[in-house]
Structure formats: C-alpha cells, structure tokens
Structure 1
C-alpha cells in the first residue's frame, strides 16, 4: 500500500495444499523455476518450483496480468521449505509489479551518501559490494541494498530503494535516495574513471536488470522506464582497484556533477533479440 493512500498496490494471498497441481498452458521459461502462460482463468502467469530429486512441486505462484494480485501455494507437508519458497516468489512478484509503477530492479550495490543515491553495477564477483563497503568506511555512506535494489521514477526523478532481497550478506535498508550516479565497474591494475555516453551505456546496463522476457508488452514498459532513468542519470565507467583512491575518483565526479542538469534526449530502448 502506498504511503498515505488506501489503494492496495499489490496483494499476495498464500495457502497450503496437500498436492500442488502442475499449471496448464504454454511453457515460457524452463529453468530452475518454470514459467507458464496460463490458458484460462483469472491469472495469466504461473511459476512453479520442483524438488530436484522427486520432481514434486514444492510451490506455485499465480499472478494476474499486471501483477497486482498473486496467489502463492505451499506444499502442506513440507513446511521447512515454506520461507524459502515465499522469499523466492515474492521477489519475482515485486520485480514485475514495480514495472507498472515506473520501476525496475537491478543487480547492483546501492548506497546512500549525504542524501544522494549511488549504485555500483557489474557482473558478479567484480567488486560491487567491495566498493559499497569502501564508501561506508571512508565516506560514512549507508548501504541501501547489497545486491538487488529497486529504481523508480517519481515526479520525473529517479530514486533508488532498498529491498528485502540482498544476497548472502543480507545488507539492506527500508529507505530510498534520489539516484545521483550509476557506476559501472571493471577491475583494473590502475584506477581511472570516465563519463560514458548514453549510447554506449545500454549494453552494460541491460544485462544487469531483471527484465520480463516472458511478455513483450511488459518488456516495452520496462525498457521505457529504464530509458527515462538513463536519460536523467550520469553513468561512469570506473576501472579500479579495491582501495581508497577508487572512492576518491567517484567522489570527485559527484561533487562536480551532482547538482548539474544531466537530462538528455535518447531514443526509446528496444529489446535485444
């Protein structure tokens, strides 16, 4: 529910069942979790996970078209898996629902420093968490989320939000900050930083975002959200070591550019095929 509003933005209903029925429909994704486009009924998308040894369905989540309502079914005789199943499905539901509120979830480490939001993003094991922790050590920053923060447009500004899903370290805050910079990381023997033109940013950013590949219409909405965010946020490539100098390079860029108008016009993003 939005703050100060009685409108319910997302409703999740949970229930137990002796046996979870396999959903009928078109199989969209066949990975650890299987995604199905339902052939009939109120819900449009169903996701389920199975026991890798027995093949028994441990949990199933069904969501309507705009992900405003979802139902999660747990296997009654396997309550030990209930928390893990709920966390897994609730994250997926939030990631998709926020798209309809001009948002997107990104694989990154997000910090709040002096009221400004900064995110560090790169492939896994590149040093996102390390850079965030260096900022807490040297600049007194606070970690909003160590792994999967949410970005959302609000009154033409982008804000970065902490979410409850943050990887192994479980570092997150129920807070937000206006997004001031996106830092793309690359490990290097020497520290350097450069502002990236938006035309070169997209191939770096899109693989880091949780995109709705299962549905073209929702994908277009998601990419529109991302395009508006990138048009208003400076993006830097930081080639770095895990040290104080890397922090200082970013700090210098922020102190020179944080309050400048960085809005530019970019063409709509298109789906990578």
Structure 2
C-alpha cells in the first residue's frame, strides 16, 4: 500500500503483481522519469523477487533492425526475434515509422530491457515504460510458459469466496453483467473484461486484472473457480449446462492464444481441456435486469 502511494510521483523502480506473477522494473537512465499508469497502482507491491526483471531507458531506435519477424498484431505491436531472443516493437502513426518503444528479453523471458525512442519524448515527461499493451503482453508471455490463460470475461467472487467467470466476446454483455453484480452487496467484481485462469495446488483459480472494460472494474483478488459461463443476450433468462466438448471450443475462442508459439498453443488446449472437465460449464442467455442475478445465485451459488 505504501509503495502504491509513491507511484503517483516519479520513481526509479516499481514492482507489479498480477495473477501471482511479478514484474520488476528499474530505471537504467537517470533522465527517465517513471510513474505507474493509474490502473496499475492497485497492483503495485513491495520489492520482491520478480518473474521477469526489466531495465528501462531512453535510446535511439532504428526503423529496420536485423530482426526475424515472428508475429504481426495488425495494431501497434509486432513480435520478432533478435539473436534468438524475443523482441516486441511498438509503432504508432502519431510518431512515425521509427518505433516509439521496443522491449527485448532473454530466451527464457526472465530478464529484459525496454527502450524508449528518446526524440519522441520531452525531458520532463513522466512515463510508464510498460504502457499498454506491453504490460499485458508480458503477462501473456509469462502465462504461455505453462502458467495459465487470460480470457475475455467478467469475473466475480461470491459471498462464500468462490469464483465465477462469465465469458464472452465484445458485445456479449460482460460489462452489463458486471454492473448488475455491482448492485449486490456480497459480490466482489474482479474485472468486467479480462480474467486470468491458473491451476494451482489448490485447483483452478481465477484472478482479477488491471485491464478493465467500460465500467472500470479491476481488482487484485483471487478465488477458487466454481463455474465457467458463456454469456449472450437473449429474450429471457436461461442457464443451460454445456458438454465439455462444446465448452473447450468456447473457452479457446475467448482466450488470448499465443499463435506465435505452437508449443504454448498446444499446452493451452491441454489446459482448457482439463479445466472444462473439472469445472461446471454453462451457457447463459439473459436480459439486462437484476432478475438474472436471482437465476445465477440459485443455480451456481447454491451448489
């Protein structure tokens, strides 16, 4: 908590913990003034041994380094390899063709460097060097090392401390459902857009993330997973059990697959298969009113 308050000012280092994974960042340039993005402050923790340690600094970047292309996102970022090591580069039309940032890592993804193209930034500017989407890409890469899966979902913790995940694509009703749950005094909302699923010694667990949706729900809490529900709008409220074979495809379609890593992709399928055979799965059709909460409580939270 103390470190979280410090993050509102310029700092020389910070640590983030998301879904039990820790990222440590140190300024490697005394002219670089770092600060956390507001959405990340709740996920700031005291100094701890990180899963990945990163040094951040200014540097003069080039437009065409001798990298081997791996994956093109179609947006701000692309993944390549440089001397066998993963490297993310970020290009925006606002700046030009030279990347405004690159992040390169060791082959095992335990250490890395983030470089910001110095001409694009003023000397007095305070920067969050892991600015989205890099922070999420780091967690996704760590998860791809057989650690878990991130999904498009609203996640909650019920009054008994059990987690429920309501998955769906854009427009399915994740934020709508989160707002409805927010009217319930005994429910903790982990996120209205991104949830992380992991398998621990205690079974499958869900974790809140800082990458919220329109309603800005983001919570650091975690809970054992009790149910997995695919949601969509309907003409009335219905909750239908799903067979594992159908649930696997839906889970994969709502996840963030590492298309650039065939081995990690195969492990994600294995993880998803195990999860849907261990956890009750459902299809929910609902109207945007509080009556759906009564249905969900009677069917999911009375188990």
Q: TM-score range by the shorter chain?
A: 0.7 to 0.9
Q: Which residue of 2 aligns with 1:69?
A: 111
Q: Which residue of 1 aligns with 2:169?
A: 123
Q: Flag the 1:81–1:101 CA change in 2: closer, same or farther, 3 A.
A: farther
Matches within 5 A, 1:207-218: 207-218=253-264
Q: How many residues align?
A: 254
Q: Gaps spanning 5+ residues in structure 1: where?
A: 258-273
Q: Distance in 1 between matches of 2:98 and 2:247?
A: 43
The answer as to 2:89 corresponding to 1:89 is no
Q: Deviations over 1:153-182 (max 9, x none)?
A: 101511111122223443211110111111
Q: Flag the 1:99–1:29 CA change in 2: closer, same or farther, 3 A.
A: closer
Q: Distance in 1 between matches of 2:273 and 2:113?
A: 31
Q: Distance in 1 between matches of 2:117 and 2:194?
A: 28
Q: Which residue of 1 aligns with 2:50?
A: 8
Structure with the larger helix share: 1
Q: Flag the 1:78–1:167 CA change in 2: closer, same or farther, 3 A.
A: farther
Q: Gaps spanning 5+ residues in structure 2: where?
A: 1-16, 23-47
Q: Which residue of 2 aligns with 1:141?
A: 187
The answer as to 2:81 corresponding to 1:38 is yes
Q: Distance in 2 between matches of 1:221 and 1:23?
A: 32
**Residue of 229, 233, 243 corresponding to 2:275:** 229
Q: Which residue of 1 aligns with 2:37?
A: none
Q: CA deviation at 1:101?
A: 5.0
Q: CA deviation at 1:100?
A: 2.3
Q: Flag the 1:220–1:101 CA change in 2: closer, same or farther, 3 A.
A: closer
Q: Flag the 1:219–1:24 CA change in 2: closer, same or farther, 3 A.
A: farther
Q: CA deviation at 1:144?
A: 0.9
SS at match of 1:137: coil
Contact 1:72/1:86, CA 8 A, preserved across alignment: no
Give the structure-2-normalised TM-score.
0.76
Q: Distance in 2 between matches of 1:244 and 1:102?
A: 35
Q: Deviations over 1:20-76 (max 9, x none)?
A: 4544333232211343432515x2x21212121522211112233343323221122
Q: Which residue of 1 aligns with 2:30?
A: none
Q: Which residue of 2 aligns with 1:180?
A: 226
